[in-house]
Amino acid sequence: MSEQMQVTRELFNDVMVPNYAPSNIIPVRGAGSRVWDQNDNELIDFAGGIAVNCLGHCHPALIKALTDQANKIWHLSNVMTNEPALRLAKKLVDATFADQVYFANSGAESNEAALKLARRWALDNHGSDKDQIIAFNQGFHGRTFFTVTVGGQAAYSDGFGPKPGGISHVDYNDLEAFAALISDKTCAVMIEPLQGEGGLVSPTNDFIKGVRELCDKHNALLIFDEVQTGVGRLGSLYAYMELGVTPDIMTTAKALGGGFPIAAMLTTKEIAKSLKIGTHGSTYGGNPLGCAVAEAAFDTVNTPEVLNGVIAKEAIFRAGFDAINAKYNVFSEVRGKGLLLGAVLNEQYQGRARDFMVAAAAEGLMALVAGANIVRFAPSLVIPDADIAEGMARFEKAVAKIVNA
C-alpha cells in the first residue's frame, strides 16, 4: 500500500488553479455547527458553506438518506427517471407556486436554465424581437458566461471576450429607473428577493410589487433567483412567500441539498411547455443521490419548528451585533433577514471586511464577507443557541483585536 499522502495548504498552490485564495485552515470533520481542522482545532461555523449547510455538518437525516441511497442506485442519466427525483419534485411543487421542476447541479445551472427557458418562451409566444433580459446592478446569478453577464457586477464578466447580448441592468430598489427600462421587448426580469453578494439589500415593498406589476403589463416573465434565499434561509420556505409577490420562474440550490450539489428550476406548466424534448439538459441533473439527500433536507427544514426558529435565532444574532457595537463602534447597520445577515462596517473601517473574517478565523469562528465592507453570517438554520453565544463571543474577541491593534 502506498504511503499516505501529506495534504497541506501548500499543496493547493501546486495542484489547484489559482482562482481561489483559501484560508490556511483545512477542516477535516464536522458535527452540527462546529468543525475541526487537521490539527484538531475547533471552529464554530457561521459561514455555512456560503448558505449551503442549512442543517450544519453531518446531520443524521442527511447521512441516513445518503447512505440508504448509496446502497441502491447512484446514477442513471436522463434516459431514465428515478424515484428520489420524482419524490423531491412532487414535494417542491406541493410546497410552492410551481407545477413542474427541472433539476441541475448548481445555482448557476438552474439560473442558466431559467434564462434559456425565458428566451425560448418569448420566442414561442411573442416572436424573436422579445429578447431583452433585465437584471440589477450588484446582482449575482452564477459564473456561467450567460449568468455572470446577467449578474450586475462587470468585474466578474469582463475579460472573457464578447458577452451575450440583450441584457440590461438597473439599480435595485429604483422602481422609476426600472419602469423607464422595461418594455414590450423585455422577455424576462431576473432578481434576487434579497441581494446577497451585492450587500444583503432587502427590497422595498413598493419596488418588488412594482416590478411584478410592470412584468405583467409588458408580458415579461419574472424570475426569482432564490439560490441563496431559499429553503428557509430568511425564515419562510422561500422568500417570495413573505413578499406578496409570486414569480413565474424560481431557482433554488445551495441549501436545497444541505451540502450535496443539487439545484432546481421551478415554473408553471404553461411556461415549462417551451422546454420541449432536446431543448435543454444535464447529465447529472436529478441524480438519485442528490435528490435523496435534498428530499431529507427539504423535509427537515420545511417545518414550523425550523422556520420559526430561524426568526428567533435572527433576534439573538442581532442582539449580539448590537452588544459588540455598543462596545467597539465598528458597524453602521446590520442588514439582511433570517439567518442571512451582514454587519456593515462604518466609515472608520471601510474596506476591511476581510480583516474581520481573518481575525474571526484566528479566534475559532468561520465567517464570510459580502464585498469589502460587510461581514456576512449564514449559519446552519438549526444552530444551537449556545453555539451562537459562543460564536459571538469569539467574534467579539476578533473585533477587539482589530479595534485595539
224 is catalytic: no
- How far is residue 292's CA from residue 260's CA, in Å, rounded to a whole number? 10
Report CA-CA distances (Å) from 269 to 21, 128, 248, 344. Answer: 43, 22, 10, 42
C-alpha cell, 217? 403589463
Q: With contact defined as beta carbons under 8 Å apart, do 225 and 252 qualify?
A: no
Q: For residue 245, give the amino acid letter.
A: V
Query: To 5 degrees, how large is the angle CA 230–CA 47–CA 403?
Result: 130
Query: Which residues are CB-neighbours of 143 under 8 A, at least 6 positions away?
Result: 108, 156
Say which of 45, 103, 248, 254 is annotated catalytic. 254
Question: Where does residue 320 rank: exposed (0-12), middle (13-18), buried (19+ CB within 10 A)?
Answer: buried
158 is catalytic: no
Say which of 103, 136, 140, 178 is annotated catalytic. 140
Largest CA distance in the chain: 68
Strand, helix or coil at 260? strand
β-strands 249-252, 221-225: how paired?
parallel
Across 33-137, the runs of DSSP E, i.e. the strands, are 34-37, 42-45, 100-104, 132-136
| CB burial string 57-83: b at 16+ within 10 A, e below | bebeebeebbeebeeeeeeeeeeeebe
Say which of 45, 131, 225, 387 is annotated catalytic. 225
Report CA-CA distances (Å) from 266 to 35, 248, 262, 282. Answer: 33, 8, 13, 15
206 is catalytic: no
Question: What torsion do the CA atoms of 93, 173, 148, 95 make, to the nearest 10 degrees?
Answer: -10
- How far is residue 334's CA from residue 376's CA, in Å, rounded to a whole number? 10
Question: Quick one: which H or E segment has residue 368?
Answer: strand 368-369
β-strands 263-267, 249-252: how paired?
antiparallel
Q: Which residues does the annotation mark as catalytic?
A: 140, 225, 254
